[in-house]
Amino acid sequence: MRVGHVLRIGELAELAGCTPSAVRYYEREGLLPAPERVGGQRRYSPEDADRVRLILVLRNVGLGIRDLGLALDRSAELAPERRKAARARASELRAQIARTTLALAVLDHAGTCSSPDIDDATCARDIERRLRDPMLTEPTTAPAAQDLIRAPRS
């Protein structure tokens, strides 16, 4: 056994912030190298815990298993494909942010609008104003903006 392979699967999972079944899944998918075994039990190194943490971070940004494998592969010939996948995911996230920003503006307006008709032209102007001024969509960072929104229109 190499020095440093002292963690059992449950210990690794706890250190990394996942479940033992997730660790086994990452092994099956080739994202985590097959561990050494002692008496039939898997033994991992602290570096394996670091790798699982990285896998979890990449999963949280929305990478699928194929893209995870690509991101974790250190071979130089895959670098262009890795960069392409990163750019594609970043583009998807930007589109999602744009949709979320629009949804927030509409919902913020709907939560403060006194007009009985959301199709009212003043509603459209208010939504457009919220989209132009991000401070108006975040009441916790701009409490004064809420007062401005509720102010009577001239």
Q: Kindly state whether residue 55 falls inside one of the protein's structural domains.
A: yes
Is residue 145, in this structure, part of any structural domain at all? yes
100 in any annotated domain: yes
Domain that holds residue 108: 92-150
Average pLDDT by consecutive 10-residue portion of the chain (154 residues)? 73 95 95 91 93 94 84 81 85 87 80 72 73 56 35 40
Residues 6+ apart with CB under 8 A from 12: 20, 23, 44, 48, 49, 52
Domain contains 143: yes
Note if the pTM is more than 0.75.
no
- With respect to residue 74, please indicate whether it lies within any of the assigned structural domains: no
Q: Is residue 77 part of a domain?
A: no
The contacts of residue 80 (CB under 8 Å, 6+ apart) are none
Q: Is residue 69 part of a domain?
A: no
CATH number at residue 43: 1.10.1660.10
Give the number of domains in the chain. Answer: 2
Query: For residue 150, what pLDDT is reported?
Result: 38
The length of the chain is 154
